Structure 1
Amino acid sequence: MRFRIPTLVLITLLWIISWAIAPAALALTQIRLFDLSYHECTGDLAQGAVTSGGSAMPANCFIVTGKTENSSGKTVINADIYGRIYDANDEPTMQNRTRLGSIEEVPPGISTFELRISVPANQPTPLKLQQFKASGFTGKVRR
């Protein structure tokens, strides 16, 4: 099959245009979390329970705070927070769960975050916050 010059030019032109109008690829952006600490909830936030298997157990409410470092240069939307939280006896407070919540928006550079967690009341403090990190996208992900 032989292509004529105009056909070859047209195909090449369409190929170049398809690259120019293609949407930007969204890559998962890693966010560093540091300077972590926590404190007990106050007021209405302090009320709550942990449910497991349909039964409710008394729970203590804590607010985890820290700083984020977004070095991507772009705002990250809805970044998932991952980490491990242990009690004073090195027992996990969130069984089989490392995703702890999310941060709605992480601007470029250094900023702060807060995360509410509920810990069963029978787990002793102080809590140990380990392996915290976050990741998200620089644009909305469509389904």
Structure 2
Amino acid sequence: MQLRALTVILIACIIWVLSSAFSPFAEALTQVKLYDLTYQQCPPELAKGAVTSGGTTMAANCFLVTGKAKNDTNKTVYDADIFGRIYDANNDPVMQNRTRLGSIDEIPPGVSDFELRISVAANQPLPLKLKQFKASGFSAQIRK
């Protein structure tokens, strides 16, 4: 009985070792600081759009959020998701229940500029308040 238990344990260990040898390499998320945030109205060629919610179409204003992305690693960060909160002049959220706002394809090491297009319902008062912006991506391309 003990020999059978040892055999089962040995087989399990061999399977575990072999499966880890053939597992794909997991890339860890890299955090990127976003700062010096500003926004401006979109140029006319980008300004077309609407905000839809629950099947209803509402008039919308287009804005470009710009800022700096600081990649403290020595590797390019790919497919970085941008997270943040945007509020109107009354401190009401512009993107209800949504903190992922967009993405940046590549962020090289060091400081670089980024730009994000957003649509805001026309009835939300300005100025906008940009809060808690950050990005996180991968040290190798994930999306093709």
* Percentage of matched positions with identical amino acids: 66
CA offsets 1:43-75 (integer angstroms, 9 cap, x no match): 221111000111110000000000000011111
**Do 2:79 and 2:142's aligned partners in 1 also have CA atoms closer than 8 Å?**
no
2:120 is the counterpart of 1:119: yes
Deviation at 1:24, TM superposition (A): 4.5
| AA partner of residue 120 (structure 1) | A
TM-score, length basis structure 2:
0.81
The amino acid that maps onto 1:136 is G
In the other structure, the counterpart of 1:62 is 63
- Does 2:54 correspond to 1:53? yes
CA distance in 1, matches of 2:47, 2:23: 48
Which residue is 1:11 aligned to? none
The alignment covers a number of residue pairs equal to 126
Moved over 4 A (4+): 21-24
Instruction: Give the 3 Å change call, closer, same or farther, for CA 22–49 of structure 1 in structure 2.
Output: closer
Rounded to whole Å, the distance in 2 between the matches of 1:82 and 1:22 is 30
Report SS of the residue matched to 1:134.
Answer: strand
The secondary structure found in structure 1 opposite 2:101 is: strand
Q: Which residue of 2 aligns with 1:103?
A: 104
Which structure 1 segments of 5+ residues have no match? 2-14
Q: Secondary structure at the match of 2:45?
A: helix
Q: Which residue of 2 aligns with 1:73?
A: 74
Give secondary structure in 2 for the equivalent of 1:46. Answer: coil
List gaps (5 residues or longer) in structure 2.
Answer: 4-16
